Chains A and B, each alone.
Chain A
Amino acid sequence: MTISTKETATSPQATEPRRVVFETRGMAVGFGDRPDVLADVDLKVHAGEFVALLGPSGCGKSTILNLAAGLLRPRRGEVLFDGRPITGVNTSVGYMTQDDTLLPWRTVAANVALPLRMRKVPKQRIQQEVSRYLAFLDLQHAAGLYPAQLSGGMRRRALLARSMIYAPELLLMDEPFAALDAQMRQQLHADLRRAVHSTQQTVLFVTHDLTEAAVLADRVLVIGGGPPGGVVAEFTIPFGAERDPATLPYEDGFARIQQELQEALTRARVPKQKEEE
């Protein structure tokens, strides 16, 4: 069983009933004939929420995103999207991975336009949307460049634009900024918060960096304790939607959240059986 010690760093926000976009019930998943990587996982992502999955490397965070994207099936339990089991590739999500999945032979503008083109959106609409998103993510001047000509930060922003342009119901992000330097990462945190806030985008964000999780998310689920792992702890981060990720670490109470996340993360590294001994 999962030791889902429900902790809240401060008093939980008034929770109005919201639509559940993504949900797993008693989900277990594994590969080949090896034992389960995750077991008995129950988690929910509500519409408009920014949820971070925090956990040590190899604990199964990416696996959860692959389940949500329909690229993987659970061994047991249910994985639901909009209340229905996911059966094929889930085209209602945007998926931004750590790898660079820009098509190198397409310019930035053509890459960002790709989802809309494949969805047969009228040409004129595509053009409007592309320029809107490029402008929003400060990429207008890079529209005609090929990915190889971009800096790491610009490539990340182009990927973000491409995964958001078709307004997916859920945006999956797998350590999207891990390869960037600290300053660039901070800039992108601000860009992401701004983009997410103005579009009311629902996000499921994977990271192993607790400060990144605390700075971005409304709610943090700590994954680990395996194998098989599960949700070890859950935190509600209270700073609201209009926060500034750059100054948030200096706010009152942030240090305490960091400390609690740190403790939970330490616990997540220890296999459950050992903990019980």
Chain B
Amino acid sequence: MSVSTTVTEPDKTTTDSAAPATAPQPRRSRARWRPRLHHFVQLCVIVVLLASWELSAGRLIDDLLTSRPSEVFPTFWSWVVSGELLYHASSTFKDAFLGLLAGGGLGLVVGCVLGQSQWLARVCEPFITAFYTMPKHALIPLFIMWVGIGSELRVLTAAAIVFFLVFYNTFFGIRDVSKNLVDSVRVMGGTAFDVLFRVMLPSALIWVFAALKLAVPQAIVGVVVAEMLAGDRGLGFLVAMHAGTFNSDGTFAAIFALLIVGFLVDRLMNLVTRRALLWKNNDTTA
């Protein structure tokens, strides 16, 4: 999962080098998955890592600190069975989702409004940049002061992070819209309404999806950090609590849960983005 803090430009593969005219249909490859060499290598890497961890724990390094796979996985499994994992994971997801909705929605609206006006944009530019580069997690203590340590804190943290990502990309997305495209639609008889909804927003959506691909994992990171700092539930809380009591089995099991969550979310976002930007996927990136 790529977690960078820069604005993600959508890959602007120019449409000029087009696929041959004979390209029959959008490429919807439903090719059956089959194991390849690199899958095998990946599996080997995992096995080797786990084995060397298992073998070195207690011998080369203190297993009080590193635990060992043969203890981490049973702990993890016991959480799965008892429902504890579901309880904490669903709390994390719920808060991240709410933060995503609130921050993303607001970012979209504010980005559209500011992106429309050259003058407003010029006024706001330095503020936007300053806030964009500031680490939003530093606001968590302030948020605790404002809203306490409940669910509101976690949602607010996620929302603050997502807001800036989505706002920034929408803002630049709207401003990036080709003047030619807008003019051509106006000459065809398009109203200001047509221009906004048929040109501006769809254009900006490429950028918004690029932002979401970052924002969704970042929302989870925000919630997890908030959970670690304060509160009584969530995957971040699990990590912090077990680490706080020197329970390395539990800490690693919780980290493992975060690993899986991150992986799944990234895959999901890939799927969603590819579906939504179907028109753009003319066989450019495999």
Q: Using a CB–CB distance below 8 Å, which chain A residues touch chain B? A: 69-71, 89-91, 93-95, 97, 99-101, 103-107, 114-115, 118-119, 142, 144-155, 162-163, 166, 179
Contacts and interface: CB of A to CB of B under 8 A. Distances in A.
Given A99-B180, A101-B180, A146-B282, A91 B16 contact: no
Interface stretch (B121-129, B185-193, B251-259): B185-193
B18 A119 contact: no
8 contacts: A89-B183, A91-B187, A101-B181, A105-B205, A118-B190, A151-B19, A151-B20, A179-B16
Given A103-B202, A105-B279, A119 B21 contact: no
Given A90-B187, A114-B185, A148-B280, 5 more contacts: A89-B186, A94-B188, A95-B184, A101-B181, A151-B21
A100 B15 contact: yes
Given A89-B186, A90-B187, A166-B188, A149 B26 contact: yes
Contacts of B198: 103, 114, 118
Contact of A91 (B15, B19, B180, B188): B188
A151 B18 contact: yes
B23 interface: yes
Contact of B187 (A89, A119, A146, A154): A89
Contact of B23 (A94, A145, A179): A145
B199 interface: yes
Given A118-B194, A148-B280, A155 B18 contact: yes
Q: Which of B15, B181, B184 has the most CB of A within 10 A?
A: B184
A97 to B, nearest CB: 6
Contacts of B180: 97, 99, 101
Interface in B1-33: 15-16, 18-21, 23, 25-26
Interface residues of B, number: 30
Contacts of A106: 279
A162 B181 CA distance: 13
A8 to B, nearest CB: 33
A162 B184 CA distance: 10
B188 A162 contact: yes
Given A99-B180, A104-B15, A146-B282, A115 B26 contact: no
Given A103-B198, A105-B202, A148 B18 contact: yes
Interface in B21-50: 21, 23, 25-26
B286 to A, nearest CB: 15
B279 A104 contact: yes
Q: Ordered nearest first, which 3 A-B pairs have the shortest CB separation?
A: A151-B21, A101-B184, A148-B282
Contacts of B187: 69-71, 89-91, 93-95
A257 B190 CA distance: 41
A90 B189 CA distance: 8
A115 B189 contact: yes
Nearest to A153: B21
Contacts of B21: 142, 150-151, 153-154
A111 B186 CA distance: 14
Contacts of A146: 26, 278-280, 282
B26 to A, nearest CB: 7
Contacts of B189: 91, 115, 118-119, 166
Contacts of B280: 104-105, 146, 148
Contacts of B199: 103
Contacts of B23: 145, 149
A144 B278 CA distance: 13
Nearest to B27: A149
Contacts of B186: 89, 91
A115 B185 CA distance: 8
Contacts of A162: 188
Nearest to B277: A105
A179 B14 CA distance: 14
A100 B279 CA distance: 16
Contacts of A105: 202, 205, 279-280
A141 to B, nearest CB: 9
Nearest to A163: B188
B15 A147 contact: yes
A166 B23 CA distance: 29
B188 A149 contact: no
Contacts of A147: 15, 279
Contacts of B191: 118
A163 B184 CA distance: 9
